[in-house]
Structure 1
Amino acid sequence: MHKHFWQKITIILFLALIFLTGCKNNSSKITIVGSSAMQLLAEQAGNDYRLTHPSSNIVVQGGGSGTGLSQVQAGAVEIGTSDVFAETQPGINAQKLRDYRVAVVGIVPIVNKSTGVKNLSMTQLRQIFTGKITNWKQVGGKNETITVINRSKGSGTRSSFESIVLPGVKPIRSQEQDSNGTVKKIVNTTPGTISYISLPYAHDKNIQKLSIDHVKATNSNITTNKWPLWCYEHMYTKGKPNKRTAAFIKYMLGKKVQEDLIPKIGYLSIKEMKVVRDSQNKVVKVGN
């Protein structure tokens, strides 16, 4: 009986140790949900952060800016990422959230190479996405029907694109996709297609990036707003972040990410911008 008693005690202590270890691991978890445009940066930064903070557990998921904002507002995640300002989104109380702008990302229209088009005017781009231009021959390309691929309604990239390209007008009804990777794959494999993706995802020789009014989508052109299709990459927390989340956000705003990682993978540091835009994508300040 004495032997069985100590066996039970050993099992109980073992299970308690597993439970406490699990709690410790869970307590170091930071869940980041939202913008697919931000996902590439958040994932790489999270991987790098773990190298110097081995006890950290950073989980990054997409789902769109709308999802990120609603999830962080509900307290379901530590960080919600977004391409748009929280105050522009219905159902979001921006006053209860803290905004950290960690980067800038460009947006670029892309087409299947079969179209034969490399440049559009802003007016032509608007007319394609509103259905007024329906064949590539109307803009100097192949005699081929235009197929528009839009982003899903919860996408911050879509909100930014439409506020700049389609202010005050509705886009044509079309197929919708919720991630940069899926859009790129469809445009790559489907003749006649056009869509738009975040610039860091556009380094693919099988798709054609479009210039607008003969201006190319480059980070240099973005800094001055010469290329107008860009947006801030926000990290939102619900009120004051806890200690571990605050430490990771500090890392995101620090030199290692801002000066090394961000330019390496195709984003822009906030510090590089020569213009400032408001929540309606209007330039409100020029110069540093």
Structure 2
Amino acid sequence: MKSMKKLSLFALLAAMMVVMAACGGGASTDKSKDSSKGADTSKPAQKELSGSLVISGSTAMQPLVAAAAEEFMGKNPKVDIQVNAGGSGTGLSQVAQGAVQIGNSDVFAEEKQGIPADQLVDHKVAVVGMTAAVNPKVGIKDIKKADLIKVFTGQITNWKDLGGPDQKIVLVNRPDSSGTRAVFNKFALDGAKPAEGVTEDASNTVKKIINETPGAIGYLAFSYLNDNTVTPLAIDGVAPTAENVQTGKFPVWAYEHSYTKGQPTDLEKAFLDFLMSSDVQNNIVKKQGYLPVTDMKVERDPQGNVKKK
């Protein structure tokens, strides 16, 4: 009997030890999960970005996107980004054709004839202000909108008619594919068709021609008005400033769009998210002469209608 009791007691103790071990193992596992969750180690490590992007389009956007691309590549050494200009029409056409990964545009895709806007995804990354700019020796800093229209449509051909020198007006235009031209025509010229003049594809070249040509007038994004080589014009007494664009007082502005064909790939999305980061919006965007989208107090639809946010 004593032997049987000892065996029963031994079996009971053994069973209790098994149960305790099982409980202890479960507690240990739970504790491990809690610790892992607290340290966020359960999340997979962020995948290292690699690959290449070709971006084309708006010359007004080129300085911004190129500066952001350089910083992005510095943070992601296995990524290569090539930023080309060519105009908004070119960017939209090329991204729609799949020739580039991102197409930059100063205008909505819906505004460009022949662009399959329904196939493209719009990413508004900044706002750009634009205004007319003249050769500094013209001596004019403000112009009425009605007179600006007459200048660009060829109804006024000499600066003396606007209080300037007795000098022929030389028009410097952008090509039809230019988003800058589309925005300027729509909001500065009320849709009037400009007269024939010098036509140049790139904003940098337009700026150089205005500076070097007596009596010249053209139009540029604020981002190119960063020195005294050309004189930007106020319109109807309203100065071309960021604040006046943000509040809707200055009428000549547009969103800077980066379009993808369909939803962006991981690399495209990473770069677009970087463009929208507070670091880029508050530093690169402003330093390059653009306006952060988040600073706008008004918004504009593809038809050009403006309303308060």
The verdict on a shared fold, with TM-score over 0.5 as the criterion, is yes
Whole-angstrom distance in 2 between the partners of 1:254 and 1:208: 32
**For residue 114 of structure 1, what is the aligned residue in structure 2?**
137
**For residue 128 of structure 1, what is the aligned residue in structure 2?**
151
Q: How does 1:240-259 map to 2 (within 5 A)?
A: 240-259=263-282
Q: Which moved more, 1:131-140 or 1:111-120?
A: 111-120
Amino acid at match of 2:188: V
Distance 1:35 1:56, change over 3 A: same
Q: How does 1:21-40 map to 2 (within 5 A)?
A: 28-40=51-63
What is the DSSP-based 3-state SS (H/G/I as helix, E as strand, rest coil) of the residue aligned with 2:302?
coil
Q: Does 1:260 align with 2:283?
A: yes
Q: Percent identity?
A: 45
Contact 2:131 2:184 in 1 (8 A): no
Tell me which of 182, 185, 188 is aligned to 2:211: 188
**For residue 300 of structure 2, what is the aligned residue in structure 1?**
277
Tell me which of 176, 180, 198 is aligned to 1:175: 198
Matched residues, number? 260
**For residue 286 of structure 1, what is the aligned residue in structure 2?**
308
Whole-angstrom distance in 1 between the partners of 2:289 and 2:269: 25
CA-based RMSD of the aligned residues comes to 1.0
**For residue 47 of structure 2, what is the aligned residue in structure 1?**
none
Q: CA deviation at 1:261?
A: 1.4
Tell me which of 261, 267, 270 is aligned to 1:238: 261
**For residue 12 of structure 1, what is the aligned residue in structure 2?**
none
Contact 2:145 2:189 in 1 (8 A): no
Distance 1:103 1:168, change over 3 A: closer
Amino acid at match of 1:151: R
Contact 2:108 2:302 in 1 (8 A): yes
Q: CA deviation at 1:189?
A: 0.6
Q: CA deviation at 1:168?
A: 4.0
**For residue 16 of structure 1, what is the aligned residue in structure 2?**
none
Q: How does 1:158-237 map to 2 (within 5 A)?
A: 158-237=181-260
Amino acid at match of 1:166: L
What is the DSSP-based 3-state SS (H/G/I as helix, E as strand, rest coil) of the residue aligned with 2:61?
helix
Amino acid at match of 2:157: T
TM-score using structure 1 length: 0.88
Q: Does 1:83 align with 2:81?
A: no
Whole-angstrom distance in 2 between the partners of 1:33 and 1:174: 26
Whole-angstrom distance in 2 between the partners of 1:240 and 1:168: 33
Q: CA deviation at 1:118?
A: 1.3
Contact 1:163 1:280 in 2 (8 A): no
Deviations 1:112-159 (A, max 9, x none): 122121110011101100111111010110010101111111000000
Q: Does 1:56 align with 2:54?
A: no
Larger Rg over CA atoms: 2
Whole-angstrom distance in 1 between the partners of 2:287 and 2:227: 16
Whole-angstrom distance in 2 between the partners of 1:156 and 1:120: 23
Contact 1:114 1:191 in 2 (8 A): yes
Amino acid at match of 1:117: I
Whole-angstrom distance in 1 between the partners of 2:191 and 2:296: 27
Whole-angstrom distance in 1 between the partners of 2:63 and 2:302: 23
Whole-angstrom distance in 1 between the partners of 2:71 and 2:304: 32
Whole-angstrom distance in 1 between the partners of 2:157 and 2:241: 28
Whole-angstrom distance in 2 between the partners of 1:253 and 1:116: 39
Deviations 1:165-186 (A, max 9, x none): 2234321111111111000100
Gaps of 5+ in 1: 1-26
Q: Does 1:137 align with 2:183?
A: no
Deviations 1:58-80 (A, max 9, x none): 10000000000000000011000
Whole-angstrom distance in 1 between the partners of 2:228 and 2:282: 27
Amino acid at match of 2:272: I
TM-score using structure 2 length: 0.82
Deviations 1:79-129 (A, max 9, x none): 000000001111111110000000001102111122121110011101100
Distance 1:56 1:182, change over 3 A: same
